[in-house]
């Protein structure tokens, strides 16, 4: 039995080459978040041109490699939804990490704008102005995020890029017209451990960084739906991003040569910081120069935040529609799927961090340590088929937290060795996790344990052996008698039957349609067991089948003992999904599949949320 589906084509009406260019612009702008935007200036002030390239090249390569690999993943199966289906399964154990990564990226970007663009302007009273600035940033991001969805964001970003481009050209003209001045800043050496204490975390963190970024995954999925080459889009996007980073860093280098070193300050940790030197330099030059730089920074920040808003909304909607947690039946859907509460939380944290005079590096620590292990494990899981769709969450969280602490000590105490160890620790642990002898046990999920054959407690007792001959025991001497109405083994409801002549076709094997009928009968017996008081005469709802699919594995024949297993796989506000498996007397899998149920009113057939009676009955067996 098969299932045929009709998918609406989502191919883009634009020429594919133009689509790749538009998506490339959006990719570049979305990756110019607070970290890439301002740390390019900071690392240039520390290590000069070599430091800028140390920061820019891994950033460029990480984005490029992500695009090339996702292009390959999308082409492993046919269809415009192949990458979306892959992401839905692959990302399941990383959902919390995806959320934390995105929230931290949004918080960091808002913080960087307030800390390095607004605070240096010195508006007073800051207690009034800073919250207003934070609200303006949030309002702009939410407005653009609501106005432009993922299908249209490439057009809005193209327009914003046209605003950014004249500003970049003007600033380059200003720099070129003044020429290169005398070197007047104390560049740190790049041949000592202090440099490598930064370089190693940067290389590791940025090479694998895009893999946990929802914005990039959503873009890759949408590009594949529009039949735009993901590889072409990311080649253009990563190259354009690299040029923007070089522009910002080289402009900082130019400013340092003309006296901007006086704006470098000492932070609360005792380190020197220069993220805002360009703002101070340009604001002291002319209003036109300051305006051009303000447009550049504002576009970079806005295109990151609106992308984050759209990505979080997509992420929340996907999880609300597939999660089986009871909380999703109690909270209004619009609240569950809205990124606004998350953005408000990010804004408040960013504002507090700016008031406390935190620095960008405090947030960067997590991207160089905590998320590294998850990113590397995620990459491995694209190509290594593990026993189950799960990861050792507690161990991964502990090793990530330990790496954060080690790196923090290294940063605050100026110990490069600790910084390097903190970045390498998650990488080493993931490799050990994958190759150690018991690695398979690390990835066994609860659902897999429930799917394994579970022996009945009756069968373990010798005195319970059946001695009376019966049709079942004659065909399967090892079988144990159960209720004719079915029984539970763990979470599985099992109905046992014997295939007879009426179930077979002309050649003697069971007719394919009988498997679906057996599953249907097992389902009805399951409903009768968990909802014994259900009565069609006075029920306020009906249970309908939305979809049914079954994969045939092997055949069976007349007089074979057959076990039909069925269980609640998951449910959300509207739908419940049941899984089924069919085995013969030798415990060989005959077939498996799933079905989706929906619920309608018995009076007008309008679709309902899952009724409370069904929730009560299903939760105990989900």
| pLDDT one-digit tens code per residue, 187-212 | 788 888 999 999 999 999 999 989 99
* Both structure tokens of 442: 């690390």
Is the pLDDT at 388 greater than 60, yes or no?
no
- 3 state DSSP class of 273: strand
What is the enclosing helix (H) or strand (E) of 461?
none
Please choose, from the candidates 113, 153, 115, the residue with its C-alpha nearest in 3D space to the C-alpha of residue 298.
Answer: 113
Domain 16-368 annotated CATH 1.10.3470: no
Furthest CA-CA distance within the chain: 102
What are the strands of the beta sheet with 561-571, ordered from one edge? Answer: 487-489, 492-498, 561-571, 576-583, 589-601, 541-552
Give the count of alpha carbons within 13 A of 90, CB side only.
23
Is the pLDDT at 293 greater than 90, yes or no?
yes
Minimum mean pLDDT range among 44-58, 204-218, 381-395, 472-486: 472-486
Task: Locate the domains of the chain by residue range.
Answer: 16-368, 369-443, 471-619
Domains 16-368 and 471-619 share a fold: no
Residues 6+ apart with CB under 8 A from 536: none
Question: How many residues does the structure list for the chain?
Answer: 622
Instruction: Give residue 248's pLDDT.
Output: 94
Instruction: Give residue 436's pLDDT.
Output: 73
d(CA 617, CA 531): 6
Minimum mean pLDDT range among 63-72, 127-136, 459-468: 459-468
* % of the chain surpassing 70 pLDDT: 86
Task: Write the DSSP symbol of residue 549.
Answer: E
Instruction: Name the class of domain 471-619.
Output: alpha beta
Minimum mean pLDDT range among 162-166, 167-171, 432-436, 443-447: 443-447
Instruction: Give residue 390's pLDDT.
Output: 64
């Amino acid at each position: 039995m098969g299932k045929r589906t009709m998918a609406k084509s989502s191919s883009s009406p634009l020429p594919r080459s133009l689509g790749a260019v538009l998506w490339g612009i959006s990719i570049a702008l979305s990756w110019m978040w607070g970290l890439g935007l301002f740390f390019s200036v900071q690392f240039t002030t520390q290590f000069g041109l070599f430091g800028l390239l140390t920061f820019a090249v891994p950033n460029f390569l990480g984005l490029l490699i992500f695009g090339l690999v996702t292009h390959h993943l999308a082409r492993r199966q046919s269809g415009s939804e192949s990458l979306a289906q892959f992401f839905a399964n692959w990302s399941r154990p990383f959902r919390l990490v995806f959320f934390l990564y995105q929230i931290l990226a949004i918080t960091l970007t808002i913080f960087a704008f307030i800390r390095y663009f607004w605070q240096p302007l010195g508006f007073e009273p800051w207690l009034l102005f800073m919250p207003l600035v934070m609200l303006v940033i949030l309002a702009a991001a939410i407005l653009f995020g609501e106005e432009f969805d993922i299908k249209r964001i490439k057009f809005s970003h193209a327009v914003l890029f046209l605003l950014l481009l004249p500003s970049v050209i003007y600033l380059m003209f200003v720099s070129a017209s003044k020429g290169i001045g005398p070197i007047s800043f104390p560049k740190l050496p790049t041949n000592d451990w202090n440099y490598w204490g930064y370089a190693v975390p940067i290389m590791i963190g940025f090479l694998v960084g895009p893999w946990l970024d929802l914005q990039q995954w959503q873009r890759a999925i949408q590009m594949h739906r529009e039949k735009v080459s993901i590889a072409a889009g990311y080649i253009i996007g990563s190259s354009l991003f690299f040029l923007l980073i070089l522009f910002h860093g080289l402009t900082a280098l130019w400013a340092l040569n003309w006296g901007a070193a006086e704006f470098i300050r000492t932070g609360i940790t005792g380190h020197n910081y220069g993220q805002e030197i360009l703002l101070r330099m340009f604001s002291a030059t002319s209003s036109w120069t300051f305006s051009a730089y303000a447009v550049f920074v504002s576009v970079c920040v806005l295109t990151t935040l609106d992308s984050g808003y759209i990505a979080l909304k997509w992420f929340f909607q996907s999880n609300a529609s597939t999660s089986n947690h009871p909380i999703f039946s109690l909270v209004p859907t619009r609240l569950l799927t809205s990124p606004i509460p998350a953005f408000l939380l990010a804004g408040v944290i960013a504002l507090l961090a700016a008031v406390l005079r935190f620095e960008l590096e405090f947030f960067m620590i997590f991207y160089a340590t905590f998320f590294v292990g998850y990113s590397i494990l995620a990459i491995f899981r694209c190509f290594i088929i593990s026993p189950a769709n799960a990861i050792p969450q507690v161990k991964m969280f502990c090793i990530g937290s330990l790496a954060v602490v080690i790196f923090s000590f290294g940063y605050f105490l100026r110990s490069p060795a600790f910084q390097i160890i903190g970045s390498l620790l998650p990488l080493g642990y993931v490799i050990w996790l994958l190759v150690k002898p018991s690695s398979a046990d690390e990835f066994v999920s609860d659902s897999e344990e429930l799917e394994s054959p579970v022996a009945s407690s009756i069968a373990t007792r010798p005195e319970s052996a059946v001695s009376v001959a019966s049709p079942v025991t004659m065909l399967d001497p090892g079988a144990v008698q159960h209720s004719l109405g079915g029984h539970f083994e763990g979470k599985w409801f099992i109905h046992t039957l014997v295939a007879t002549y009426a179930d077979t076709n002309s050649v003697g094997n069971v007719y394919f349609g009988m498997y679906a009928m057996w599953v249907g009968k097992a389902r009805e017996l399951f409903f009768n067991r968990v909802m014994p008081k259900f009565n069609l005469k006075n029920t306020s709802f009906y249970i309908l089948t939305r979809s049914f699919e079954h994969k045939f594995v092997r055949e069976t024949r007349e007089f074979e003992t057959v076990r039909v297993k069925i269980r609640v796989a998951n449910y959300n506000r509207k739908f419940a999904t049941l899984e089924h498996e069919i085995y013969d007397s030798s415990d060989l899998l005959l077939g498996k599949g799933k079905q989706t149920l929906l619920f309608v009113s018995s009076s007008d057939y309008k679709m309902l949320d899952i009724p409370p009676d069904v929730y009560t009955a299903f939760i105990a067996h989900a």
